[in-house]
Structure 1
């Protein structure tokens, strides 16, 4: 070994030792602060704002005036992943032979909804497919025209998918549109329920399709998404400015309260003119790391939800469906979809209708690979290994689907991610590059703009660790998620409500699950709590 090589290894060892000792010291300082009754977040060996100190060129966006409501969020965490969608090859329209609507995409729906069309029956886009037996007024409509192909059933005859064999040229259901200037709220609600557009309106509490019998105190529309590899809504609204404004006009008729518009105040790029120039809304700018784009965060900081109150919310796609319905008289569910992930050969944007079959998107992805190993007798054996996972939605809240599966109702992102079926000995102990870190365990904490290759490795199983303040550090809301989870597990409904469960949806606590040392299924636990509370009435 030469002197130069030994010197290099010595420097690396010293740096690793410093990082390990600093991390241990940081934990001890926070523990001591907590024992003294102080806030642990105010103490540490390393600066709490280290990532922001290392960012360059940041400042207040010049397109935000001093009079605008600006919310600067300090908590959160951005996960920068490889495989961001590119506009290099433009945005092509992708049409599949089959489309599907999945009842399981709608939280709170009965597992066996009433399907009102028979196999072989002809459909137009906007025709009713099924309704929930608990709430029969809300109709769920076909996203495209064609022929009713089949009902894909699951356990206990539950309906997994209602599949449509699509026409090459779409035909749309004809509507008797009400006059938006003169229609009453009751008649407008009745029209939206029958049209199939109502399921795009969701509500807090419970994060379910909105209950039409209730008057919301406010309606929120979020115009940006901060989840990893999320698409830009600026592309979605491009060329549809009039439809977006028309959708806002429709929503304004549905509430006696305010219509709030959440805008991207991070300064990376100016929001689309359709958002900035929108009328009849109260505009709010949000700056910060993920989950700054979540509607739950917007509600919490603008008009918090109290017991007995209801707030409705939509994304840009939902607003455009409403606007197009009233502007053109058609039920149009076309959207911009981002094909992302480090295993996607050509990450890009496409245009597609809701419920599109994803097989056309992933023809070049190698989901299986062959491995050669030996059996007990030492003979060579070839086995197939699942190499890539396909996700409908973002990597934090999306659902795993098969390559011939269908896009989720509310999803505008498809991600491919490498299967993490490997083990690392003492991976938690050795500081190494290539891993995002929220608690400054790895060197990546000192390079917040680094981009990482993701896989599905959880780096451990569920374990009995309780790290105080871990969830709170990534949730920019005045909520104590750790105590809330305990209340849910104890079925303590009064504490659940008092600790803020009514404002939350799964997406709001997805980062809590990501950073959880205990590997606790936080999103699943929250949904259990919401469902229990809803059943109690």
Structure 2
């Protein structure tokens, strides 16, 4: 069952979701914007626009290093007129591409290699639709898509026009959601949870990538949003997320909006702590999520945990170790069975982690990093004795390789 989430007054577009992007702003602080209105576009590819998920007022714009985006916050305005839906022709690859770019849905796609938004004229050898939960607490896609199969099918057919290759609908074993949609839209079945639920694992097994080979991935809720755009012309940026974690008072599925304020979404949702400490709020799962104030663009889970100390304690383990601020150099990497089994890409784990640790992009590429993004290394970071965040190291390497590509 899906519950209506708490009303939020603010949403944000986050630079953390957009690696490598340099925005050219089309609005100012204090600007009144409508749902679907362009807020900024990519300086390198002006055709890629980022639109407002709500109608309201731009409350703040924070830029990071080299004028990268940190956060653009919009405060909702109650009673503001919503724009009328505008349908666009989407019966050919050219029309679908133009519509997704114009309406701000192009950023729903991410490339492998590099985990970036594809160029507006790029071609994918295949497209992967991810419907496999990466942990037992993630939303069940079949629950989210209940009563909306026709809309989801419309989205799948539109997405399929963007590639001459296969569209792999990666799902858990059950009735094939992609059945009867033609030879190019195929169901692929993986167990839920762990590495088998990650897009990187699907790509590695079905269509490995590397230099000169590129595929795209997209989440099933974005495909659903594209289907709604096809059928109604409306911008729909709603999200069904799982509210979970040991501090969650009532774990459940809630419907909210991408970029929603986690402070407002989780207000009153946490169990009290004997020490009076507030919960640690993660956007994402306990394995790969990040401590945040806003719901990430690609996240489908909010996790409430016990808060962590402000500095690493010698006894800290697992997620606590990763979230704590490390004040000293990382500990040595000790090969263990858990570490060797934490990476499901057939790469030699220890040499690979050493290459990431020293920023050796050439060796990391040769060992297989082009198939991965940060979430693929979350389990490695938890299992490793060093306490290092290998997802962050991987991002630095991928960005370097992307600039040289």
TM-score, normalising length: structure 2: 0.88
> 1:126-275 residue pairs with structure 2 within 5 A?
126-153=36-63, 159-168=69-78, 171-172=82-83, 174-180=85-91, 183=92, 185-227=93-135, 229-265=137-173, 270=174, 274-275=177-178
The 3-state SS of whatever aligns with 2:168 is: strand
The unaligned stretches of length 5 or more in structure 2 are none
User: Whole-Å Cα distance in 2 between the matches of residues 288 and 147 of structure 1?
Assistant: 40
The alignment status of 1:466 with 2:310, answered yes or no, reads no
RMSD: 3.0
Q: Is the 8 A contact 2:45 2:120 kept in 1?
A: no
Aligned to 1:389: 280
Deviations 1:255-297 (A, max 9, x none): 11111111113xxxx46x7455655511111136511111110
The alignment status of 1:115 with 2:28, answered yes or no, reads no
User: Whole-Å Cα distance in 2 between the matches of residues 297 and 387 of structure 1?
Assistant: 35
> 1:432-451 residue pairs with structure 2 within 5 A?
none
1:399 is aligned, of 278, 286, 290, to 290
User: Whole-Å Cα distance in 2 between the matches of residues 490 and 249 of structure 1?
Assistant: 44
The 3-state SS of whatever aligns with 2:393 is: helix
TM-score, normalising length: structure 1: 0.68
For the structure 1 residues 477 and 327, does the alpha-carbon distance in structure 2 shift closer, same or farther, using more than 3 Å as the test?
Answer: same
The 3-state SS of whatever aligns with 1:225 is: coil
User: Which moves more between the two structures, 388-397 or 92-101?
Assistant: 92-101
2:355 is aligned, of 482, 487, 503, to 487
The alignment status of 1:532 with 2:400, answered yes or no, reads yes
User: Whole-Å Cα distance in 2 between the matches of residues 130 and 466 of structure 1?
Assistant: 45
Deviations 1:21-54 (A, max 9, x none): xxxxxxxxxxxxxxxxxxxxxxxxxxxxxxxxxx
User: Whole-Å Cα distance in 2 between the matches of residues 411 and 506 of structure 1?
Assistant: 13
> 1:326-341 residue pairs with structure 2 within 5 A?
326-341=230-245
Deviations 1:70-94 (A, max 9, x none): xxxxxxxxxxxxxxxxx4xx51243
User: Whole-Å Cα distance in 1 between the matches of residues 212 and 372 of structure 2?
Assistant: 15
User: Whole-Å Cα distance in 2 between the matches of residues 214 and 190 of structure 1?
Assistant: 13
The 3-state SS of whatever aligns with 1:498 is: helix
The alignment status of 1:91 with 2:3, answered yes or no, reads yes
Q: Is the 8 A contact 1:263 1:275 kept in 2?
A: no
Aligned to 1:106: 18
Q: How many residues align?
A: 399
For the structure 1 residues 365 and 459, does the alpha-carbon distance in structure 2 shift closer, same or farther, using more than 3 Å as the test?
Answer: closer
Aligned to 1:42: none
Deviation at 1:136, TM superposition (A): 1.9
The 3-state SS of whatever aligns with 2:320 is: coil
Deviation at 1:458, TM superposition (A): 5.7
Q: Is the 8 A contact 2:124 2:216 kept in 1?
A: yes
Q: Is the 8 A contact 1:125 1:173 kept in 2?
A: no
Deviations 1:41-70 (A, max 9, x none): xxxxxxxxxxxxxxxxxxxxxxxxxxxxxx
User: Whole-Å Cα distance in 2 between the matches of residues 261 and 459 of structure 1?
Assistant: 33
The 3-state SS of whatever aligns with 1:484 is: helix
> 1:361-372 residue pairs with structure 2 within 5 A?
361-365=265-269
User: Which moves more between the two structures, 525-534 or 166-175?
Assistant: 166-175
Deviations 1:231-264 (A, max 9, x none): 2112221222111111111111101111111111
Q: Is the 8 A contact 1:392 1:413 kept in 2?
A: yes
The unaligned stretches of length 5 or more in structure 1 are 1-86, 372-384, 429-434, 436-453
Deviations 1:337-363 (A, max 9, x none): 111111122222211121122233222
User: Whole-Å Cα distance in 2 between the matches of residues 458 and 507 of structure 1?
Assistant: 14
User: Whole-Å Cα distance in 2 between the matches of residues 459 and 176 of structure 1?
Assistant: 45
Aligned to 1:4: none
For the structure 1 residues 173 and 131, does the alpha-carbon distance in structure 2 shift closer, same or farther, using more than 3 Å as the test?
Answer: farther
The 3-state SS of whatever aligns with 2:171 is: strand
Aligned to 1:523: 391
